[in-house]
């Protein structure tokens, strides 16, 4: 039996995954490309992010300077078309393109006890992952764990969708997701998989006193079997309306809201 052909949304997601400049290989230490005002501004405001090269239109750099961010790196003032050539035709760069060093990220062993962690099981759409990163930053998530394969790079489209969230919610790449979940479990984290057939709603599920891991699966496919088996408990998000399913980034936002009601973030 032949596998079904990818639908239009899947084809668009695959094209979008290629939107980052091709001269950056997938490597933990490779530079990243960031574009758009929020992504670039948050990167320049982050002392841990080391800028390499900034292309900016005159007006866009004036906005950065007004925000007190014009001193981090001397820009190359260019016309918008110069940046257009570095990106896909549909990329909205707002006159800013930054090449910067990748951030240092925690490992599974260095994620602090008591942390709130998101685990993404083969969520491949960079728009969805970027939106999740943005929401994770808003809810003070300590780390987002995903596989180095079957996941988009933390650059280009993902970074734009994250709107600066990559500076605050680090992506931890692992080779084997089930093994990573086992490691977190051995460190005392409660692992809750979000599943439409979970035995109880998330807001009626005990979230424990220590670290918490929320595991999200791809839209349509959900959690893979081994991922489900490695979770401590499954929980669902109940929808009172006629539509019973959500985009995965919206599901992440609801789940994090529920989690933070039970586990408030520490004061800054």
pLDDT at residue number 263: 85
pLDDT at residue number 148: 85
What average pLDDT score do residues 36-60 get?
Answer: 96
pLDDT at residue number 39: 94
What is the Cβ-side half-sphere exposure of residue 112, based on CA atoms within 13 angstroms?
Answer: 6
Confidence of residue 9 (pLDDT cuts 50, 70, 90): very low
Report how far Cα 13 is from the mean position of its chain's Cα atoms.
Answer: 15
Rounded to an integer, what distance in angstroms lies between the CA atom of residue 209 and that of residue 114?
A: 8
pLDDT at residue number 29: 63
What average pLDDT score do residues 232-243 get?
Answer: 91
Local structure of residue 232 (DSSP, 8 states)? S
pLDDT at residue number 30: 79
- Which residues, at least 6 apart from 213, have a Cβ–Cβ distance to it below 8 Å? 117, 118, 119, 145, 181, 184, 189, 190, 191, 192
Q: Does the pLDDT of residue 268 top 80, yes or no? A: no
Summarised one tens digit per residue, pLDDT across range 14-43 is: 444 343 333 333 445 678 999 999 999 999
Q: How many residues does the chain have?
A: 268
pLDDT at residue number 106: 84
Q: Are 255 and 135 in contact (CB under 8 A)?
A: no
Summarised one tens digit per residue, pLDDT across range 130-159 is: 999 999 999 999 999 999 887 777 778 898
Strands of the chain (E only): list them.
32-35, 51-56, 76-77, 96-100, 116-121, 143-147, 171-174, 190-194, 212-217, 233-235
What average pLDDT score do residues 188-211 get?
Answer: 94
pLDDT at residue number 211: 96
Domains, the chain, in order of start with CATH, read 30-100 (3.30.1330), 116-262 (3.40.1280.10)
Question: Which of 85-89, 240-244, 250-254 has the least mean pLDDT?
Answer: 240-244
């Amino acid at each position: 039996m032949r596998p079904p052909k990818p639908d239009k949304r899947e084809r668009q997601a695959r094209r979008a995954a290629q939107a980052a400049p091709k001269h950056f290989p997938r490597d933990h230490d490779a530079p990243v490309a960031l574009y758009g005002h929020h992504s670039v501004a948050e990167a320049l405001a982050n002392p841990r992010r080391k800028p390499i090269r900034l292309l900016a239109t005159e007006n866009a750099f004036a906005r950065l300077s007004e925000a007190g961010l014009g001193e981090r790196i001397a820009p190359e003032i260019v016309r918008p078309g110069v940046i257009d050539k570095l990106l896909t035709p549909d990329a909205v760069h707002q006159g800013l393109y930054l090449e910067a060093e990748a951030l240092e990220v925690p490992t599974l062993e260095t994620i602090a006890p008591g942390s709130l962690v998101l685990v993404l099981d083969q969520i491949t759409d960079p728009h969805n992952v970027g939106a999740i990163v943005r929401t994770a930053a808003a809810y003070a998530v300590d780390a987002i764990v995903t596989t180095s394969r079957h996941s988009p790079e933390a650059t280009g489209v993902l970074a734009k969708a994250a709107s600066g969230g990559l500076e605050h919610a680090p992506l931890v790449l692992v080779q084997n997701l089930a093994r990573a979940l086992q490691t977190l479990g051995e460190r005392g984290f409660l692992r809750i998989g979000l599943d439409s057939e979970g035995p109880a709603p998330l807001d009626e599920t005990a979230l424990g006193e220590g670290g918490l891991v929320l595991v999200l699966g791809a839209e349509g496919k959900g959690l893979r079997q081994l991922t489900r088996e490695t979770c401590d408990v499954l929980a669902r998000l109940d929808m009172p309306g006629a539509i019973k399913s959500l985009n995965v980034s919206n599901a992440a936002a609801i789940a994090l809201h529920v989690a933070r009601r039970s586990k408030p973030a520490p004061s800054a």
